[in-house]
C-alpha cells in the first residue's frame, strides 16, 4: 500500500508567533498528502494510490533525442491503422477517438506510426485498453519507446515507480470548499513540467476510475492559436523567450508539509517553438510555471502572458474536450497543446466523487526557437 505522506497541519506558525491558515491547494486536482483509509478501500486499483517515497532526483542532464515519428516511412500508417481500426475525430483538426487498437499489442514500427498520428491529431483517446490492467512495468515500458521518463518532484507517485504521477480525488470536501472560497474556477491550463530543460513531448493518461459524468480533460492547440494572431504580433512573439520555473510549486509543497524530491528548476524557453515533426510554430505557454518574459518589465510581461492565456482559454474553435470512459488511455502531444482537468464532479455532501488517473511523460527535445529554423 502507499507509504504515508507528511501529515497536513491545520495551522502554520508565523514568524511573529501568530497562527496562519495553511495555503489552499496549489492544484485542486492533485493530492500532496496521503489519501485516507476510506479512499483506499474504494479504489479498484490500490497499487496506484499516491505514495510519497523519500527519493531525491538530481538535475536532468542534456541528452540526444530522436522523435519516433521521424522514423515513419509510410505516412498512411499501415502497421497502426489496420483493417477494423476506426478513427473518429472529436474536433475537425484536433483530437480523435481510436477504436480497434490495443496499445499493448503494437510493434515498434506501429508505435512510431502512433507517434506520428499523435503529432498530427495532437490528442488520441483509446477506450477499453488492456494496458490499463497490465501493470506499471508494462505501462512504463510502453512509454519508454517515446522518450526518457519524467520523475515527479513533489506530487503523489507509485511506490517503486517514481515516473508515475498519480491524480486522485475522492471526498476532500473541506479542502475543495476552502479552495473555491478563494478561486473562481478549478481549471489550470498548462503544459506538463515545462520547466525541464527537455520537457515531455508525448504524454500518457490512464483512467483507473472516474465519475459517470464529469471529470473531462480539455485541450487547446497551440499551433492553431498561434496562427490566429496577426502577422505583426506573431513576428514579435517569435523573438521572445520566457522563464519557466518549478520554484512556486516546490515552495508551496514545503509550506504545506509535503515531500520534495528535487530542487527547483528554472529554464528559459522560446515563447514560440517549432514542432520537430509537423514543422508548425506553437505557442509555448503555461498558466502554472512561467514567471516572466525575458527583456520585459513586470507589468509588460504580465499583460502579454495574460493576453496569450486568455486567447488560449477562450479559443473554443481550437479546443477539444475528451470525455473519459472506463479503462481509457489518452496519448497527447505536450508540445502543441495546453490542457486542463475539469473538476465538475463535486457532491455537496461528500466533496469530489472518485477520480483516479495516472500520468507518464516521455521527455523529448529541447524546445526549438523560430530563429533556429533559418540556421
Q: What is the pLDDT of the chain when averaged over all its residues?
A: 87
- Is residue 2 over pLDDT 50? no
- Is residue 37 over pLDDT 60? no
- CA-to-CA distance for 153 and 162, rounded, in angstroms? 9
Instruction: Note whether residue 64 is domain-resident.
Output: no
- pLDDT of 365: 98
Sheet strand arrangement including 266-270: 266-270, 241-245, 290-293
- pLDDT of 14: 46
Instruction: Note whether residue 366 is domain-resident.
Output: yes
- pLDDT of 128: 96
- Is residue 328 over pLDDT 80? yes
The runs of H, that is alpha helices, within 122-192 are 136-144, 173-182
- Is residue 176 over pLDDT 80? no
- Is residue 145 over pLDDT 80? yes
- CA-to-CA distance for 46 and 162, rounded, in angstroms? 16
Q: What percent of the chain has pLDDT over 70?
A: 85
Instruction: Note whether residue 56 is domain-resident.
Output: no
Confidence at 102, pLDDT banded by 50, 70, 90 = very high
- pLDDT of 7: 32
Q: For residue 128, give the CATH number of its domain.
A: 3.60.130.10
* pLDDT tens per residue across span 205-228: 999 988 888 889 999 999 999 999
Confidence at 9, pLDDT banded by 50, 70, 90 = very low
- Is residue 374 over pLDDT 70? no
- pLDDT of 349: 67
- Is residue 70 over pLDDT 80? yes
Burial of 232 (0-12, 13-18, 19+ CB in 10 A): exposed
* pLDDT tens per residue across span 253-286: 888 777 889 999 999 999 999 999 999 999 999 9
> Which of 27, 47, 53, 4 has its CA nearest to residue 169?
27
- Is residue 234 over pLDDT 80? yes
Strands 123-126 and 94-99: parallel
- Is residue 61 over pLDDT 50? yes
Give the cell for residue 230.
Answer: 496577426
Burial of 240 (0-12, 13-18, 19+ CB in 10 A): middle
- CA-to-CA distance for 79 and 108, rounded, in angstroms? 10
Which range marks the domain in which residue 229 is found?
86-374
Confidence at 52, pLDDT banded by 50, 70, 90 = confident
Instruction: Note whether residue 28 is domain-resident.
Output: no
- pLDDT of 139: 98
Instruction: Note whether residue 307 is domain-resident.
Output: yes
Q: Angle CA(326)–CA(327)–CA(332) in degrees, nearest 5?
A: 110
Count Cα neighbours of 37 within 13 Å in the Cβ-side half-sphere: 0
User: 20-24, 141-145, 304-308, 321-325: lowest mean pLDDT where?
Assistant: 20-24
- Is residue 46 over pLDDT 70? yes
Domain count, the chain: 1
- pLDDT of 32: 44
Instruction: Note whether residue 288 is domain-resident.
Output: yes
- pLDDT of 346: 77
For residue 6, CA distances in Å to 141, 255, 259, 266 come to 31, 11, 7, 26
Q: Mean of the pLDDT values across residues 299-309?
A: 97
- pLDDT of 26: 52
Confidence at 157, pLDDT banded by 50, 70, 90 = confident
Instruction: Note whether residue 73 is domain-resident.
Output: no
- Asked whether 269 and 284 are in contact (CB, 8 A), the reply is yes
Alpha-carbon Rg of the chain, whole angstroms? 20
Instruction: Note whether residue 347 is domain-resident.
Output: yes
**257/369: higher pLDDT:** 369
Amino acid at each position: 500500500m502507499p507509504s504515508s505522506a507528511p501529515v497536513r497541519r491545520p495551522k502554520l506558525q508565523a514568524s511573529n508567533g501568530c497562527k496562519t491558515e495553511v495555503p489552499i491547494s496549489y492544484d485542486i486536482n492533485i493530492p500532496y498528502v496521503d489519501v485516507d483509509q476510506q479512499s483506499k478501500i474504494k479504489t479498484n486499483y490500490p497499487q496506484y494510490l499516491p505514495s510519497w517515497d523519500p527519493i531525491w532526483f538530481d538535475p536532468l542532464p542534456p541528452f540526444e533525442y530522436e522523435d519516433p515519428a521521424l522514423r515513419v516511412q509510410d505516412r498512411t500508417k499501415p502497421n497502426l491503422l489496420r483493417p477494423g481500426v476506426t478513427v473518429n475525430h472529436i474536433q475537425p483538426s484536433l483530437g480523435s477517438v481510436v477504436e480497434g487498437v490495443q496499445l499493448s499489442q503494437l510493434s515498434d514500427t506501429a508505435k512510431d506510426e502512433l507517434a506520428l498520428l499523435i503529432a498530427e491529431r495532437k490528442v488520441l483517446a483509446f477506450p477499453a485498453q488492456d494496458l490499463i490492467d497490465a501493470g506499471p512495468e508494462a505501462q512504463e515500458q510502453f512509454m519508454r519507446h517515446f522518450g526518457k521518463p519524467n520523475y515527479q518532484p513533489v506530487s503523489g507517485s507509485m511506490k517503486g515507480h517514481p515516473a508515475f504521477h498519480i491524480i486522485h480525488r475522492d471526498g476532500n470536501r473541506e479542502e475543495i470548499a476552502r479552495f473555491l472560497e478563494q478561486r473562481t474556477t478549478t481549471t489550470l491550463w498548462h503544459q506538463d513540467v515545462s520547466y525541464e530543460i527537455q520537457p515531455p513531448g508525448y504524454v500518457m493518461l490512464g483512467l483507473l476510475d472516474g465519475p459517470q459524468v464529469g471529470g473531462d480533460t480539455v485541450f487547446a492547440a497551440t499551433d492553431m492559436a498561434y496562427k490566429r494572431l496577426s502577422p505583426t504580433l506573431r513576428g514579435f512573439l517569435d523573438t521572445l523567450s520566457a522563464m519557466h520555473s518549478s520554484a512556486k510549486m516546490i515552495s508551496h509543497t514545503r509550506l504545506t508539509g509535503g515531500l520534495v524530491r528535487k530542487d527547483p528548476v528554472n529554464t528559459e524557453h522560446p515563447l514560440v517553438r517549432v514542432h520537430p515533426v509537423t514543422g508548425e510554430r506553437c505557442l509555448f505557454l503555461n498558466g502554472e510555471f512561467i514567471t516572466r518574459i525575458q527583456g520585459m518589465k513586470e507589468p509588460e510581461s504580465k499583460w502579454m502572458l495574460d493576453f496569450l492565456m486568455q486567447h488560449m482559454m477562450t479559443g473554443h474553435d481550437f479546443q477539444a474536450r475528451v470525455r473519459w470512459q472506463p479503462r481509457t488511455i489518452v496519448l497527447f502531444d505536450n508540445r502543441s497543446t495546453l490542457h486542463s482537468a475539469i473538476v465538475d464532479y463535486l457532491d455537496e455532501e461528500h466533496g469530489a466523487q472518485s477520480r483516479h488517473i495516472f500520468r507518464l511523460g516521455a521527455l523529448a527535445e529541447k524546445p526549438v526557437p523560430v530563429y533556429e529554423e533559418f540556421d
